[in-house]
Structure 1
Amino acid sequence: MRVIRSTAVVDQEADRPAETSVLRPRRNVWRIEQARRAAVLVDAAAYFGALRSAMRQAKHRILVIGWDIDSRPPLVGPEGEPEDGLPATLGDFLCALVRERPELSVKLLLWNYSLYYALEREPLPLLALQWSTPPQIELCLDDEIPVGSSHHQKIVVIDDAVAFVGGLDLTIRRWDTSCHRPEHPGRVDPAGVAYPPFHDVQMAVDGPAARALAELARWRWERATYEALPAVAARSVPWPEQVEADFRDVAVGISRTLPLYPGEGEVREIEALFEDMIDTAQEAIYIENQFLTSAHMAERLARRMQDVPALQAVIVAPRIHHSWVEHRAMAPGRIRFMEILRAGGVAGRVRLLHPQAGRDGATADVMVHSKLMIVDDRLLRVGSANLCNRSMGVDSECDLTIEAIDADERRAIRRIRARLLAEHCGVEPEEMDRRIRETGSLLVAIAAAGTERRLVPVDDHQPVADERGWTLAGFADPRHPLPATGLIDRALASVKARWRGLLRIAPIIIAALLLALAWSTTDLAGWAQPERLQQSLHGLAGTGWGPPLVIAAFVLGGMVMFPVTVLIAATAAAYGAWPGLAYAGAGALASALAGYLVGLMAGENALRAVMGPRLHRIRDGIARRGVVAVATIRLVPVAPFTLVNLVAGAARIPILDFVLGTALGLAPGLLVLSTLGDRILSILRDPSLAEIGILLAVLAAWIALSVGLQALVSRRRRSRS
């Protein structure tokens, strides 16, 4: 699988920016690509409305990468109701869209989040967005990231032609208009609970910039699912109809954070871009950010403001962090951030403010979730990265930056800054722009607050952080992924595997319950007694029909999930160690092949509907370690014998791997059951050292034989390729 890393930058000399440019590939951007149009979408109502319009025009593929994806948020614009005749909520809208356009594919990639966030998320997203939707909609939970990290990128790409990047996920408790009224009938979560005003920013781009973001999104999908998505050659551009471009024919820098994956280097372009943007500031820095905990960036800002006495900074952030963990973990970092600026003697030129909205005597704090930075009128940056340690090297992030190169682009950046400040201060954008131009100071321009909306100083109510807060912050906001031991990795993998397994085999569980009902209401359970089977098979031992009937019994038993070990034990008891071993081995292999053929005829789509796109990853792992993988599943029965057969056939595992792996995996059980016969129960009750030694020797020989056969099979395939 091709990996997109820091080496995958624009290499052509002609494509590199001038030496005076802040954006520098291999340092603070991955790629610099042209966008025919770029627009800043302020608040979720504007973004959701634009995204809905673009999705309505999609013809080939919608690819969503998110920290959180929920089927229930209203995907509607500022009007609050859909105007296209399709359902309002995201999940129902996507279902209606793909039914209307069957050739359209929707891929949803959601971070396989930690249990802490489970209470904030939609229960069972696989059920809501995978199994309860048409087959064109596929959801994958992405756990391809170090322990303690999160996938924090928020990217939507439509037909590889239009892309959206910013701080907004397609989830609940995000929708709001730029009016930020203290109360709004559309600002209610699925439980009917009203939530406070919410502010965020997204950027839309098309052209080569969108195609580059599509490449990044496809890489994320391939890494999680082992399914390589082809690029889309769209004939039309699904640009949202109601969105007016802020920029035309503009260069866009794409920056990333990617943590240290096993065997791969980390990417810290976002951290370098924060540093370089601060180091080039001359007049004003405007920041909107949810978290301010990076002491390194605070020190960098303090040094720059010391070097440039005219430099001012306005930082808009939430008044408080709402959850207990965020408050205990992130608030101490924000306190330290401001203490560093005060210690540097520059706090008088810095304002840390939070927006407050009012109407008819009621007021409400506006939740600031945006991740935006504007330096002078030269640099505009929108993305997913917070000014916290996690965003610099622990979580995956993606930011877009526009560096103005002419007067028109500088004016566009000034207009966007004025629009944002005007929203917070309750004035018109033209009025805010006039104040800034006349006073030459952001601090003075925002001092005259509006009557209903205003920016209020943040007061964290304590001069220093307490010791417990710093301890929690070290775990919640580390500078590097947490060092996890193999034990932790295995424990987490085991928990995730158990939950995923339960979800995936839900249809099998239902079938098993039906079989259990049949066993309890019919005489089927009686046949599971080895003594009864032994008597029946013993009667066939003296006839010529015995061997084929025994094999037929194995095949039929496999189809109804009859315990294969019972059949093996009964065959050995009826026929003896030999030829019972041969009959049982032939029957078990015949049963396995029959199940394999049924799965093969059912096809991959049937299995994919149950397991989702991660089927590619599982199949790839078995393909690379086929014999050993199948043998291990047989030796350690993590799934029923019949289920393994069906999965192997539907996933089109090479039949040679399947047969060899099945034979090796069943061999120890066949040998033990056939040779020990009715002594096996007494051995389990009172095993001797000699018998234990024999079993261990057999197991070691089996492992060596499995690895050796896999090496031979792999060598044979390489010689043919």
Structure 2
Amino acid sequence: MLNTRERQAAIEETPGILIPGETVWRVETARRATVLIDAGPYFAVLRKAMLAARQTIYIVGWDVDSRTPLVGPEGTVDDDLPLELGPFIAELVHRRPQLSVKILLWDYSVFFANEREFMPAVALRWRMPKQVDLCLDDSVPLGSSHHQKIVIIDEALAFSGGLDLTIRRWDTPDHLKDNPHRVDPDGKPYPPFHDVQLMVDGPIADAMTALVRRRWLHAAGEVLPSTPACESPWPAGIVADFQNVPVGIARTEPNVNDEKLVREVADLFRAMAATAERYIYLESQYVTCLEFAEVLAETLRQRPALEAVIVCPHSYQGFFERSAMSGGRRRFMKILQDAGVAGRVSVLAPQTRPEEGERDNIKIHAKVMIVDDRYLRIGSANLCARSMATDSECDLIIDASGDDEAARGIARIRYRLLAEHCGTTVAKVAETISKTRSLIQAINRLCAENCKLRLVEDPSEEELAASEAVEAMADPKHPLDPFYYLPNSITPKRGFRWGQATSIAGFLLLVGLLAAVWAFTPLAELANPALLERNLRGLSGPWEAVAVVAIFIIGGLVAFPLVVLIACTAAVFGGWPGLLYATSGAMLSALATYFIGRWLGKRALRRFVGPRLNRINRTLARQGILTVTTLRLMPVAPFTIVNLVAGALRVRPLDYVLGTLLGMSPGLLLMSGFGGQMRSMIQNPSLGGAAILIGVLGASFALSILLQKLMTRLGSKVD
């Protein structure tokens, strides 16, 4: 791996900036490539390509929603299959039994639950024919997400960019203020939406297939079956914007599971900015990457003729996003202002046409960068901190070096994007830029006629101050996973960072603050453990225990978080009685779901759980008490899923019971202590009690880490 100085020297000495292993993963040729601007055109082309599929369809996404209308700009289709994605795929594989569909979906954070389809496994696996397979990918650290948006047809045609196959994305390039087809599944209209996707075939599609295969293996624990080579299902009538051009693949992959951090996306952003001579054109949902701002400022200082145009949203929705991303954008611009180059950078936001009445802001979700007429980059990575090292990303970059036709193609894409945002024609944009020899002056002249673009809003001083408190969570430079910050003695692959380790202390403090809110406000009445205890004990005698155990069993059947049940039990009944009840309930719940798994068997469970079953299978392959104990201490799946799989694999009941009891004991003790302390805190609130509560939770982190490390070493000795 090159250091920073060696990497910069390599970029300067190389005719191009696409350096495999540094700024890109691989460079391959695209036989054809075309840019699809906005979801309406993209969905129309994708639908045609999927209709032509004969062997495989791979879908990788931050989000995939079965209710997505897979329709073109007219909002209708010209075939006899259903409009919505889920029913469309189901009917397609019904008609074509040899077709296999693999869907890899980020097992998303609870913070995005209200934006997602409820229980996607039901819509995308259980209700689908057996040829459709869904894997929920949870193989990224806490605070990270899988952000790539990829579709591959027959391993010969690839789509990649900023568009997920999900709801509230569809729109047309004219971005009308009111479009009857731009509604969500509930019939509610949503604002205009802009995004970009790139379609490629040839050797670059093979490379994209390799990327998806690697992701599937990592998430599902299985190798996708090889398929015979076949002709590209390039849709008829789609003219390629580029032919036989080199295309690089740049990735971000957070370092997890002993794999090194991949920062090709960040390195490529810097290299592109450093080599710009005349024009930089950017579209990004977020503009907060200060590292890029510094490179851009230095390049602008060195090249007085260089201009940069950044198209992004005018403002952001919600306090959390607005505070973090608007504040970060202001700090980005301050770097340019301090460098004295801000006058040659225009940050603009598009709106609907003025003749349509009161204008709406158009949501910019695209991730595009064009440098001169030489490089065109389209992908999933925003110009923000989290896209550089926290989330998984995939960008494609076309290199037109020495290819005049490709260079003209890149210029045409820039004209098309500006024509859309300025509300004019491609010819008019090209003519105005030719006359002014300036992107900024051309945009000002074009928008003077209809005012479709305007400068973005700066946040207020109050919002800017507040943003510092939430920016580390919303736009982190590294994952928020506590394991990321462990010292070398525990995880040798990473060093200890005291400043970043404060995120753990902040999390513990947050828990204490929440406890204080419940203790010192009227909400305490809702969580009065004595009241809850009286209600349960009103059942009298053994029925009280039966009720608690029943709650645990029902919770296990619906995969309710076990740690929450344990803590709540201790909070209601106190430490030791709560521990007894929680242990009984957890063990009986584990046995109930274990025997359900035995009854279902591996084949039925594979359909229910999905490909992640393979990861648990590998862990339980040896069986035995130590294996079950290790799996409980280092869970690779939720409690209920592990129970079902153990039953389906027919782990010996005695090994299962003893291993489960041993593996759950630390968690039972710690969470019971936490719940008991929470009870005391609510009944007798004090600062000392809050400190003890935080201490108990901190101890649980430390003990969990040490036990997991110990079990890993024991397991390696057994091997």
What's the secondary structure of 1:291's corresponding residue? coil
1:396 matches 2:392:
yes
| Match for residue 14 of structure 2 among 5, 10, 19 | 19
| Structure 2: 5+ residue stretches without partners | 3-10, 487-502, 509-552, 560-586, 663-710
Q: What is the root-mean-square deviation in Å for CA atoms of aligned residues?
A: 3.8
CA-CA distance at 1:119 after TM superposition: 1.0
Contact 2:380 2:394 in 1 (8 A): yes
1-structure distance, mates of 2:644, 2:480: 39
| Match for residue 445 of structure 1 among 434, 442, 445 | 442
Change (3 A) 1:27 1:633: closer
Task: Show the counterpart of 1:422.
Answer: 419
What's the secondary structure of 1:202's corresponding residue? strand
What letter corresponds to residue 617 of structure 2 in structure 1? Answer: R
Task: Show the counterpart of 1:345.
Answer: 340
Residue correspondence of structure 1 range 91-490 to structure 2 within 5 A: 91-358=86-353, 359-405=355-401, 406-449=403-446, 454-462=452-460, 466-484=464-482
Change (3 A) 1:315 1:629: same
Contact 1:57 1:238 in 2 (8 A): yes
What letter corresponds to residue 124 of structure 2 in structure 1? Answer: L
Residue correspondence of structure 1 range 708-719 to structure 2 within 5 A: none
What's the secondary structure of 2:298's corresponding residue? helix
2-structure distance, mates of 1:131, 1:374: 43
Change (3 A) 1:642 1:54: closer
Change (3 A) 1:332 1:711: closer
2-structure distance, mates of 1:46, 1:658: 55
What letter corresponds to residue 92 of structure 2 in structure 1? Answer: L
CA-CA distance at 1:613 after TM superposition: 1.3
1-structure distance, mates of 2:85, 2:320: 29
What letter corresponds to residue 436 of structure 1 in structure 2? Answer: I
2-structure distance, mates of 1:457, 1:633: 54
CA-CA distance at 1:428 after TM superposition: 1.1
CA-CA distance at 1:94 after TM superposition: 0.9
Contact 1:317 1:353 in 2 (8 A): yes
Contact 1:357 1:364 in 2 (8 A): yes
> Which whole-Å deviations, capped at 9, do the CAs of 1:401-437 have from their partners, x for residues lacking one?
0110211010000000000000111111122112112
What's the secondary structure of 1:40's corresponding residue? strand
2-structure distance, mates of 1:64, 1:35: 20
1-structure distance, mates of 2:235, 2:137: 29
What letter corresponds to residue 479 of structure 2 in structure 1? Answer: P
> Which whole-Å deviations, capped at 9, do the CAs of 1:342-379 have from their partners, x for residues lacking one?
11111111111011112443422111100000000001
CA-CA distance at 1:643 after TM superposition: 10
User: 27-36 or 358-367, which moves further after superposition?
Assistant: 358-367
Task: Show the counterpart of 1:531.
Answer: none
CA-CA distance at 1:258 after TM superposition: 0.7
TM-score normalized with structure 2 length: 0.72
> Which whole-Å deviations, capped at 9, do the CAs of 1:625-650 have from their partners, x for residues lacking one?
655335778999x99x9999984574
1-structure distance, mates of 2:660, 2:454: 71
Give 1 or 2 for the bigger CA radius of gyration: 1
Change (3 A) 1:20 1:710: closer
Contact 2:386 2:475 in 1 (8 A): yes
What's the secondary structure of 2:41's corresponding residue? helix
What letter corresponds to residue 292 of structure 1 in structure 2? Answer: V
Contact 2:557 2:640 in 1 (8 A): no
Contact 2:177 2:356 in 1 (8 A): no
User: 185-194 or 119-128, which moves further after superposition?
Assistant: 119-128
2-structure distance, mates of 1:390, 1:622: 35
CA-CA distance at 1:146 after TM superposition: 1.1
2-structure distance, mates of 1:129, 1:445: 47
What's the secondary structure of 2:620's corresponding residue? helix
CA-CA distance at 1:452 after TM superposition: 5.1
CA-CA distance at 1:400 after TM superposition: 0.4
1:617 matches 2:612:
no
TM-score normalized with structure 1 length: 0.72
| Match for residue 604 of structure 2 among 598, 603, 606 | 606
2-structure distance, mates of 1:267, 1:635: 29
1:51 matches 2:49:
no
Identity, % of aligned positions: 49
1-structure distance, mates of 2:340, 2:641: 69
Residue correspondence of structure 1 range 503-518 to structure 2 within 5 A: none
> Which whole-Å deviations, capped at 9, do the CAs of 1:58-93 have from their partners, x for residues lacking one?
111111111111111101111211211111111111
What's the secondary structure of 2:231's corresponding residue? coil
CA-CA distance at 1:157 after TM superposition: 1.2
Task: Show the counterpart of 2:674.
Answer: none
> Which whole-Å deviations, capped at 9, do the CAs of 1:269-323 have from their partners, x for residues lacking one?
1101010100000001000011011111111111110100000111101000113
Change (3 A) 1:308 1:191: same
User: 424-433 or 266-275, which moves further after superposition?
Assistant: 424-433
What's the secondary structure of 2:101's corresponding residue? strand
2-structure distance, mates of 1:380, 1:643: 45
| Structure 1: 5+ residue stretches without partners | 1-5, 8-15, 492-500, 508-560, 567-591, 669-705, 716-721
1-structure distance, mates of 2:476, 2:661: 49
Contact 2:37 2:173 in 1 (8 A): yes
What's the secondary structure of 2:164's corresponding residue? coil
> Which whole-Å deviations, capped at 9, do the CAs of 1:606-630 have from their partners, x for residues lacking one?
1111111111111111115655335
What's the secondary structure of 2:359's corresponding residue? strand
CA-CA distance at 1:189 after TM superposition: 0.5
1-structure distance, mates of 2:470, 2:20: 35
Contact 2:273 2:299 in 1 (8 A): yes
1-structure distance, mates of 2:101, 2:630: 35
2-structure distance, mates of 1:381, 1:642: 43
CA-CA distance at 1:505 after TM superposition: 5.1
Contact 2:556 2:590 in 1 (8 A): no
> Which whole-Å deviations, capped at 9, do the CAs of 1:226-253 have from their partners, x for residues lacking one?
0111333332211123422111111100
CA-CA distance at 1:98 after TM superposition: 1.0
What's the secondary structure of 1:382's corresponding residue? strand
Change (3 A) 1:463 1:313: farther
1-structure distance, mates of 2:441, 2:712: 74
Contact 1:627 1:710 in 2 (8 A): no
CA-CA distance at 1:463 after TM superposition: 6.3
What letter corresponds to residue 440 of structure 1 in structure 2? Answer: R
Change (3 A) 1:617 1:363: same
1-structure distance, mates of 2:630, 2:19: 49
